[in-house]
Amino acid sequence: MKLTIHGAARQVTGSMHLLEVNNYKILIDCGLDYERERHLQSNEDFPFRPSDIDVVILTHAHIDHSGNLPTLIRLGYEGQILSTAPTADLTELLLLDSVSIFMNKANKGRKHGRNRGKANSGSQPLYLQKHVMDTMERFVTIGYNKPFRLTGDVELTFIPAGHLLGAAAAVLKVNDNGQEKTIAFTGDIGRKDYPVLNDPEPLPPVDYLVSEATYGGRYHTKDRTVEQALVETIEKACIKEQGRLIIPAFSIGRTQSLVFALNKIFSSGLLPAVKVFVDSPMAVMATRIFRKYHYLVNDEAQEFYNKQGDEFEFDNLTYVETLKDSRQVSNYFEPCIIISSAGMLEGGRIQDHLFYNIQNYYCTILFIGYCAKGTLGHRLLRGDPIVHIKDRDLAVYATIKQTDVLSAHGDHDDLMGNILSQDKSKLKTVFLVHGETSSMDTLATSIEGAGYKAVVPEKGVDYIL
Positions in the binding site for Zn ion (CB under 5 A): 62, 188
* 454-455 and 429-433 strand pairing: parallel
For residue 202, count other CB atoms closer than 10 A to its CB: 12
DSSP letters for 74-123: HTT--S-EEE-HHHHHHHHHHHHHHHHHHHHHHHHHHHHSTTTT-TTSSP
4 versus 87: smaller Cβ distance to Zn ion = 87
Distance CA 361, CA 241 (A): 10
Minimum distance from residue 326 beta carbon to Zn ion (Å): 27
DSSP character at residue 457: P
188 versus 207: smaller Cβ distance to Zn ion = 188
Minimum distance from residue 290 beta carbon to Zn ion (Å): 16
Give the angle 75-80-83 at the CA atoms, nearest 5°: 115
131 versus 434: smaller Cβ distance to Zn ion = 434
**Among 435, 438, 439, which Cα is nearest to 5's?**
435
Helices (H) and strands (E) in the chain, counts: 13, 22
DSSP letters for 315-378: TTEEEE-SHHHHHHHHT--SSEEEEES-TT-SSSTHHHHHHHHTT-TTEEEEE-S---TTSHHH
| CB proximity list for 212: less than 8 A, separation 6 or greater | 186, 187, 188, 189, 409, 415, 432, 433, 434, 435
21 versus 282: smaller Cβ distance to Zn ion = 282
127 versus 250: smaller Cβ distance to Zn ion = 250
Collapsed DSSP state (helix, strand, coil) of residue 274: coil
Half-sphere exposure of 441 (CA within 13 A, CB side): 3
Minimum distance from residue 250 beta carbon to Zn ion (Å): 10
40 versus 252: smaller Cβ distance to Zn ion = 252
Minimum distance from residue 424 beta carbon to Zn ion (Å): 28
Minimum distance from residue 163 beta carbon to Zn ion (Å): 6
Distances (CA, A) of 354 to 349, 380, 394: 9, 11, 10
335 versus 343: smaller Cβ distance to Zn ion = 343
By CB atoms closer than 10 A (0-12, 13-18, 19+), residue 436 is: middle
37 versus 321: smaller Cβ distance to Zn ion = 37
Minimum distance from residue 252 beta carbon to Zn ion (Å): 10
Minimum distance from residue 403 beta carbon to Zn ion (Å): 19
33 versus 352: smaller Cβ distance to Zn ion = 33
Minimum distance from residue 132 beta carbon to Zn ion (Å): 19
**Among 159, 196, 143, which Cα is nearest to 418's?**
159
Minimum distance from residue 418 beta carbon to Zn ion (Å): 15
62 versus 401: smaller Cβ distance to Zn ion = 62
Q: How far is C-alpha 240 from the geometric centre of its chain's CA atoms?
A: 34
Minimum distance from residue 61 beta carbon to Zn ion (Å): 8
Distance CA 55, CA 256 (A): 32
